Chains A and B, each alone.
Chain A
């Protein structure tokens, strides 16, 4: 049975590979995003030495690492699921002998592996050529970062799957998906590190799962935010992974009972 799930990974990886040309433009555009963010922060720093626990150099690294992490963990599982629901093909997939949600997760992983090898690594190399990025030398930091990155992927995919499954209840969840994308980018700390938000807001954001996607791994990897250790981050990520399983499975069960096909 497990073999079937590995095949989901493999097939998705190969599919992505077939369309790899798209990703060369992606690398350029992500680098451009990093560049623009870099200059914006440079202007904000001006003469200032440090903001929210980041020096200007660390902010550069943080921006580059965060965008490149996004290159890995990002996927469109929400859109795929809602398309399956809208065109009715989910009915067929539900009666097949595998768990739909788990299969989606594996497909996401296949995509993630592709994005890691052909998008994130070359993108990071390009970003390091263009901007003064300083990566840590300690191998432990790298190992830790890879594990955290994997959890970023898991948590982000869980949020995507939950958003996708909500299409069962709101029929057309286009707006919801757009809202989710914006919320994840802002609240995960991709656009602004959470420590720079005003106090009340960052304390709210610290109670939400999004920070575990970008902000915490990025802060640890760039090294300098006080009080966030590697183990702390692992703990928070594992807790959120576990908590998000609850709505995920609840939605999945409710969805199976609610299924009505809108044509197709």
Chain B
């Protein structure tokens, strides 16, 4: 554990050095992340200009859910960044280098791609939760902060499980898979009250690609939505299950890796 934390701090130092070389780009990236979040908020605001409630959820509630959604997403994007995995590690054969080192290969890949600016999104998510929570008059209980931390970790684990599984597919197919960019759109639907969807999509977003567990269910706990409390409490279980699936598929996939001849 200490060894891994040591590695993390070394990589972060390295990250700071590379980043300070391209300073302008750093701010462009932070800005573009924020803009992405702003456009999603715009969507919510535009919707509520035309309706007062979305399947029984008010604007402040939907915004609150969005705020929560941003928190684990920022943590995930910071520590588990695999967007270019296939091109960088498989096509160019960099996986060879990773596999010759002592730390676990997946952990190294996470380390090489840490992206701290993503955490700014989490901070803004907390801010959004605070503002809309105040508007709604939500009580601040003794368990609010611990629950927030636990649910954030669980939601991050769900993301990690799903994306690790999908990324591991590139060990099996020789072509770069186009699934991940497409997934990008779907994950955002978990932040709307899932009850608006039909049964099939609800099942999909709950059990197969459980993106409802990274947004609406855990947020329902803080919003004191009775019908979602049970699901919210299930979030850590889902996190554990999906992370295990992800690691299992990944470890099997790595054995398939043959290296790129060059």
A interface residues, Cβ below 8 angstroms from B: 18-19, 21-23, 25-26, 29-30, 32-33, 35-36, 39-40, 42-46, 48, 51-52, 170-176, 178-179, 182-183, 185-186, 191-192, 196-198
CB distance from B117 to the nearest CB of A (A): 9
Contact assessment for A186 and B22 in the assembled complex, using a CB-CB cutoff below 8 Å: no
B contact residues around A21 at 8 Å (CB):
173, 175
Interface 9-residue window, one of B67-75, B100-108, B147-155, B178-186: B178-186
How far, in whole Å, are A26 and B179 apart by their CA atoms in the complex? 7
Contact assessment for A174 and B29 in the assembled complex, using a CB-CB cutoff below 8 Å: yes
Q: Is B35 an interface residue (CB 8 A)?
A: yes
Contact assessment for A39 and B196 in the assembled complex, using a CB-CB cutoff below 8 Å: yes
Which residue of B is nearest A20, CB measured? Answer: B175
Q: Is B46 an interface residue (CB 8 A)?
A: yes
Contact assessment for B186 and A175 in the assembled complex, using a CB-CB cutoff below 8 Å: no
Contact assessment for A26 and B28 in the assembled complex, using a CB-CB cutoff below 8 Å: no
Known: A186-B43, A197-B46. A33 touches B185 (CB 8 A): yes
- Extra contacts, 6 of them, besides A22-B176, A36-B197, A44-B50 (Cβ < 8 A), are A19-B175, A22-B179, A40-B47, A48-B50, A173-B28, A175-B28
Which residue of A is nearest B178, CB measured? Answer: A22
How far, in whole Å, are A39 and B205 apart by their CA atoms in the complex? 13
Contact assessment for A170 and B43 in the assembled complex, using a CB-CB cutoff below 8 Å: no
Within 8 A of A (CB), among B1-52: 22, 24-25, 28-33, 35-36, 39, 42-43, 46-47, 49-51
Q: Is B55 an interface residue (CB 8 A)?
A: yes
A contact residues around B196 at 8 Å (CB):
39-40, 42-43
How far, in whole Å, are A186 and B201 apart by their CA atoms in the complex? 23
* Cβ-neighbour of B182 out of A19, A25, A178 (below 8 A): A25
Contact assessment for A192 and B35 in the assembled complex, using a CB-CB cutoff below 8 Å: no
Known: A179-B36, A182-B32, A182-B39. A196 touches B50 (CB 8 A): yes
The contact sample of 7 A-B pairs, CB cut-off 8 A, is A21-B173, A32-B201, A32-B204, A33-B185, A46-B51, A176-B28, A179-B32
Q: Is B217 an interface residue (CB 8 A)?
A: no
Q: Is B58 an interface residue (CB 8 A)?
A: no
Q: Is B189 an interface residue (CB 8 A)?
A: yes
CB distance from A28 to the nearest CB of B (A): 9
B contact residues around A175 at 8 Å (CB):
25, 28-33
Contact assessment for B35 and A179 in the assembled complex, using a CB-CB cutoff below 8 Å: yes
**What 7 A-B pairs come out closest when comparing CB atoms?**
A175-B29, A179-B32, A43-B196, A175-B28, A29-B182, A175-B32, A22-B178
A contact residues around B22 at 8 Å (CB):
171-172
Contact assessment for B35 and A26 in the assembled complex, using a CB-CB cutoff below 8 Å: no
How far, in whole Å, are A179 and B33 apart by their CA atoms in the complex? 7
Which residue of B is nearest A32, CB measured? Answer: B186
B contact residues around A192 at 8 Å (CB):
43, 46-47
B32, B33, B196 interface centre (most CB from chain A within 10 Å): B32
Contact assessment for A39 and B197 in the assembled complex, using a CB-CB cutoff below 8 Å: yes
Contact assessment for A178 and B32 in the assembled complex, using a CB-CB cutoff below 8 Å: yes
A contact residues around B39 at 8 Å (CB):
182-183, 185-186, 191
Known: A179-B35, A182-B39. A22 touches B175 (CB 8 A): yes
A contact residues around B50 at 8 Å (CB):
44, 48, 51-52, 196
How far, in whole Å, are A185 and B40 apart by their CA atoms in the complex? 11
B51, B176, B177 interface centre (most CB from chain A within 10 Å): B51
* Cβ-neighbour of B24 out of A48, A170, A186 (below 8 A): A170
Q: Is B54 an interface residue (CB 8 A)?
A: yes
Contact assessment for A191 and B43 in the assembled complex, using a CB-CB cutoff below 8 Å: yes
Q: Is B198 an interface residue (CB 8 A)?
A: yes
B contact residues around A176 at 8 Å (CB):
28, 32
B contact residues around A171 at 8 Å (CB):
22, 25
B contact residues around A26 at 8 Å (CB):
178, 182
Q: Is B192 an interface residue (CB 8 A)?
A: yes
Which residue of A is nearest B45, CB measured? Answer: A198
How far, in whole Å, are A32 and B203 apart by their CA atoms in the complex? 13
How far, in whole Å, are A183 and B36 apart by their CA atoms in the complex? 8
* Cβ-neighbour of B51 out of A29, A30, A44, A183 (below 8 A): A44
B contact residues around A36 at 8 Å (CB):
186, 189, 197, 201
Contact assessment for B28 and A170 in the assembled complex, using a CB-CB cutoff below 8 Å: yes
How far, in whole Å, are A35 and B183 apart by their CA atoms in the complex? 14
Contact assessment for B35 and A48 in the assembled complex, using a CB-CB cutoff below 8 Å: no
How far, in whole Å, are A200 and B162 apart by their CA atoms in the complex? 40
CB distance from A198 to the nearest CB of B (A): 6
How far, in whole Å, are A48 and B50 apart by their CA atoms in the complex? 9
CB distance from A170 to the nearest CB of B (A): 6
A contact residues around B173 at 8 Å (CB):
21
B contact residues around A43 at 8 Å (CB):
54-55, 196
How far, in whole Å, are A25 and B201 apart by their CA atoms in the complex? 16
